[in-house]
Chain A
């Protein structure tokens, strides 16, 4: 197909304060100081158990500048991201609350963002949200009053223009939130992905966190385009990495997860490390897989650090938060810098 690519114009919005003066959060200050940022991820429990958050927070302590808290991820009900974020703050870790458009309309989202600011939260990641059919309430009615692009613009306008989405003034000023957005470099139409990224910059995203990256050649190509378009001048691009846990997981992600690209070579590596271990020796196989998963992740994190336009890495443990510290250590991003 003969697709003409658009000219991309990324005018600096006159409302946007300089980097370092938008949210007051640690993540923004790290980026403003020119440090390579490290973020992690905490999945809240499917219960009201605050201790789960506190335990995960301890695993991340000193490893990350901020940690994402997922918002009913994969459309499964969990502790709310803002509540979990408030607990994380108590533990001394800066939260990045994820906010999906699936479960809330524009009233609920804005109300929650005001509350999030009031609780001391300074980062939000704006997402459409996994479809409810993937989760544990497939009969739920989804909302999608606004989409992720409109959410980005709304949060930015609340912060920089002190207005609600309806245009009404927010008395006393809008929530000071550092506006994040997601990107999947490998989804289709793949040629469009750098432009979609540019569009998120135009909408007002301050930073991007990507889906898990395993396919380095494809990712390099994407980043080159993003840099050429000037997007990485306008926002901080944080690349997502995470450890594979087994060869089965690697195959599943390669074959079954839409928008995920895992090279065969990595699947072979995961298969190879257990080739000499008897199937019955489950623990030994698990340990071998996990060690190799962490090793691959470290290699990739190191490789990503060298790619032009990358401002940080986002380490996703996916219910294996223990892996974040060794990965950060291996990637050479510890200790995290002290910052005013």
Chain B
């Protein structure tokens, strides 16, 4: 899932300082599951913002709505009827959600209430860890299902480096050395030979460096002029 966390109340307050009436829009997908931008968080944040403004001797109207998926136009179309009655929209979606709203309602000011952090999963209750950077060229079949792009601090492809100690990365005592894990996993699978192969430089052209990436599936596209 996409994992996000809420910005500080102060930062959100500052974004909204000129607004009198705000629509807070939650998202029912990833950010609901990671407790950052679902119906509950929209409620709590909206109340906090109203109270904060009151403390400042002013008032702020915050209406609340949570859509199933902020990142698809059909789910946000329903907001079109009255979105223009607001001074701003506060999105509790991920960065994709914020931009979907901005694209759909270009006249509106859309503010992000969350920092979108990474693609990951909950490793334990209340802890989420990154597992994928979307590099666009997956090598998990070579590394025992453990991703060195997202989990090695130096993105090594031929690790481990000299800073691995007792299974921990030198950069952060809470971070496992990805290459220790890869080494153990491949060892247990009897595939340690694979680690003697010098993995050549990665083709990063599928990664982040060429502007925004697209996938086009001709088999799923509709003929010209046809509506989905």
Residues of A within 8 A of B (CB): 1-8, 101-102, 106, 128-131, 133-134, 142, 144-150, 153-154, 165, 182-184, 187-189, 192, 195-196, 198-199, 202-203, 211, 258-259
Of B160, B162, B184, B201, which one neighbours A3 at CB under 8 angstroms? Answer: B184
Q: Which of B152-210 contact A (CB under 8 A)?
A: 153-168, 170-172, 177, 180, 183-184, 187-188, 190, 192-193, 195-196, 198-202, 204
Contacts of A198 in B (CB 8 A): 196
- Decide if the interface of chain A is mainly helix, strand, loop or mixed: loop
Q: Taking CB as reference atom, which chain A residue is nearest B170?
A: A258
In whole angstroms, how far apart are the Cα atoms of A192 and B194 in the complex? 13
Q: Are B196 and A6 in contact (CB under 8 A)?
A: yes
Contacts of B154 in A (CB 8 A): 101-102, 128-129, 131, 142, 144, 147
Q: Pull 27 A–B residue pairs with CB atoms less than 8 Å apart, ordered by A.
A: A1-B187, A2-B187, A3-B187, A7-B193, A131-B171, A134-B171, A146-B201, A146-B202, A147-B154, A147-B155, A147-B157, A147-B159, A148-B156, A148-B158, A149-B199, A150-B157, A150-B198, A150-B201, A153-B200, A187-B164, A188-B160, A188-B180, A189-B183, A192-B160, A202-B196, A203-B198, A258-B168
Of B165, B172, B188, B198, which one neighbours A187 at CB under 8 angstroms? Answer: B165
Contacts of A147 in B (CB 8 A): 154-159
Pairs A-B, 3 closest by C-beta atoms: A184-B162, A149-B158, A3-B187
Q: Are B165 and A150 in contact (CB under 8 A)?
A: no
Q: Are B200 and A150 in contact (CB under 8 A)?
A: yes
Q: Are A199 and B187 in contact (CB under 8 A)?
A: no
Extra A-B contacts (5), CB below 8 Å, given A6-B193, A192-B195: A1-B187, A150-B200, A192-B160, A195-B196, A258-B170
Q: Are A128 and B161 in contact (CB under 8 A)?
A: yes
Q: Are A211 and B159 in contact (CB under 8 A)?
A: no
In whole angstroms, how far apart are the Cα atoms of A146 and B188 in the complex? 28
How many residues on chain B are close to A (CB under 8 Å)? 36
Of A7, A131, A183, A259, which one neighbours B153 at CB under 8 angstroms? Answer: A131
Q: Taking CB as reference atom, which chain B residue is nearest A211?
A: B162
Q: Taking CB as reference atom, which chain B residue is nearest A154?
A: B201
In whole angstroms, how far apart are the Cα atoms of A149 and B158 in the complex? 6
Most chain A CB inside 10 Å of its own CB: which residue of B160, B193, B196, B201:
B201
Please give the distance in Å from A53's CB to the nearest CB on chain B. 26
In whole angstroms, how far apart are the Cα atoms of A6 and B191 in the complex? 9
Q: Are B192 and A5 in contact (CB under 8 A)?
A: yes
Q: Taking CB as reference atom, which chain A residue is nearest B149?
A: A144
Please give the distance in Å from A112's CB to the nearest CB on chain B. 16
Q: Say yes or no: A144-B155 contact (C-beta < 8 A), given A106-B201, A128-B161, A187-B164.
A: yes
Q: Are A188 and B164 in contact (CB under 8 A)?
A: yes
Q: Are A165 and B201 in contact (CB under 8 A)?
A: yes
In whole angstroms, how far apart are the Cα atoms of A6 and B162 in the complex? 20
In whole angstroms, how far apart are the Cα atoms of A198 and B197 in the complex? 11
In whole angstroms, how far apart are the Cα atoms of A1 and B180 in the complex? 12
Contacts of B160 in A (CB 8 A): 187-189, 192, 196
In whole angstroms, how far apart are the Cα atoms of A146 and B167 in the complex? 23
In whole angstroms, how far apart are the Cα atoms of A198 and B193 in the complex? 12
Most chain A CB inside 10 Å of its own CB: which residue of B154, B162, B184, B201:
B162
In whole angstroms, how far apart are the Cα atoms of A196 and B157 in the complex? 12
Contacts of B184 in A (CB 8 A): 1, 3, 189
Please give the distance in Å from A268's CB to the nearest CB on chain B. 23
Q: Are A192 and B183 in contact (CB under 8 A)?
A: yes
Q: Are A259 and B198 in contact (CB under 8 A)?
A: no
In whole angstroms, how far apart are the Cα atoms of A187 and B179 in the complex? 12
In whole angstroms, how far apart are the Cα atoms of A199 and B196 in the complex? 6
In whole angstroms, how far apart are the Cα atoms of A165 and B203 in the complex? 12
Of B156, B162, B167, which one neighbours A259 at CB under 8 angstroms? Answer: B162
In whole angstroms, how far apart are the Cα atoms of A189 and B177 in the complex? 10
Q: Are A4 and B187 in contact (CB under 8 A)?
A: yes
Q: Taking CB as reference atom, which chain A residue is nearest B166?
A: A188
Contacts of A101 in B (CB 8 A): 154
Q: Taking CB as reference atom, which chain B residue is nearest A153?
A: B198
In whole angstroms, how far apart are the Cα atoms of A5 and B201 in the complex? 25
Contacts of A165 in B (CB 8 A): 201
Q: Say yes or no: A259-B187 contact (C-beta < 8 A), given A147-B159, A154-B201.
A: no
Q: Are A145 and B204 in contact (CB under 8 A)?
A: yes
In whole angstroms, how far apart are the Cα atoms of A142 and B171 in the complex? 13
Please give the distance in Å from A238's CB to the nearest CB on chain B. 16
Please give the distance in Å from A135's CB to the nearest CB on chain B. 12
A-facing mask of B30-66, CB < 8 A → 1, else 0? 0000000000000000000000000000000000000
Most chain B CB inside 10 Å of its own CB: which residue of A2, A3, A101, A129:
A3
Q: Taking CB as reference atom, which chain B residue is nearest A259?
A: B162
Contacts of B170 in A (CB 8 A): 131, 258-259
Contacts of B177 in A (CB 8 A): 188
Contacts of B172 in A (CB 8 A): 133
Of B155, B159, B165, B180, which one neighbours A258 at CB under 8 angstroms? Answer: B165
Q: Are A145 and B156 in contact (CB under 8 A)?
A: no
Contacts of B201 in A (CB 8 A): 106, 145-146, 150, 154, 165
Q: Are A259 and B196 in contact (CB under 8 A)?
A: no
Please give the distance in Å from B177's CB to the nearest CB on chain A. 7
Contacts of B153 in A (CB 8 A): 131
